[in-house]
Amino acid sequence: MADEDPETVRRELTEARAERDALGRELGDLRAWLCIELGMDRAEPDRRRSTALGVATDAEIVGEVRRLRDELARCTSTERADDRRWSGIDVLIMDNRRIHAIQAIRSEFGTSLPLAVDLLSERYTRLRRRYPDRFGESTDTYWDGFRSF
């Protein structure tokens, strides 16, 4: 560095500062975008104007992301619990034991007979899409001989 002339050092320093400033603006834009997407917009008092849009701190943004992740985990665990309730019924559906499946649905969920038949149909469709190779009967013959309300 002792060999470099002062003009080269100034030019490199100016370029480094410009790059730093551009990165700072980009980071500020990212923070603002995250605040908008996370619903963290907030108005801050300003002496010259009535309000100005404020951006949350990094810690506040991370905290909101953690809160949303925890909320998603709670929702997902509810879906897993619901899948556990269906697991025994799913076996009956895939074994073509429709009447037993309806009885199990009514017992597990406390539904009426017509609603249990509707739930059976919806669950059958979902299972058929998810596990097509686990069914002993084809889609065309699964409902043969079955009359609903």
**Per-residue pLDDT reduced to its tens digit, 111-120:** 999 999 999 9
Query: Is residue 32 domain-resident?
Result: no
Is residue 34 in some structural domain? no
Mean pLDDT of 6-34: 92
Q: What is the pLDDT of residue 1?
A: 52
Domain range for 138:
83-149
What confidence tier does 84 reach under pLDDT thresholds 50, 70, 90? confident
Q: How many domains does the chain have?
A: 1
69 within domain boundaries? no
Residue 51 domain-assigned? no
Assign 88 a pLDDT band (cuts: 50, 70, 90): very high
Q: Tell me which amino acid residue 141 is.
A: T
| Statement: the pTM of the whole predicted model exceeds 0.85 | no
Produce one character per residue of 24-55: b if its CB has 16 or more CB atoms within 10 Å, e if not.
eeeeeeebbebbeeeebeeeeeeeeeeeeeeb
**Cβ pair 142, 135 in contact under 8 A:** yes
Residue 145 lies in a domain: yes
Round the average pLDDT of the chain to a whole number and report it: 83
The whole-number pLDDT of residue 148 equals: 61
Would you state the pLDDT for residue 51?
Answer: 45
Domain assignment present for residue 62? The answer is no
In a domain, 92, yes or no: yes
The contacts found for 135-143 with CB under 8 angstroms, 24 or more apart, are: 135/94, 135/96, 136/94, 136/95, 136/96, 137/96, 142/96
Q: What digits encode the pLDDT tens for the residues 39-59? A: 876 655 555 554 445 778 888
Q: Write down the pLDDT at residue 89.
A: 95
In a domain? residue 111: yes
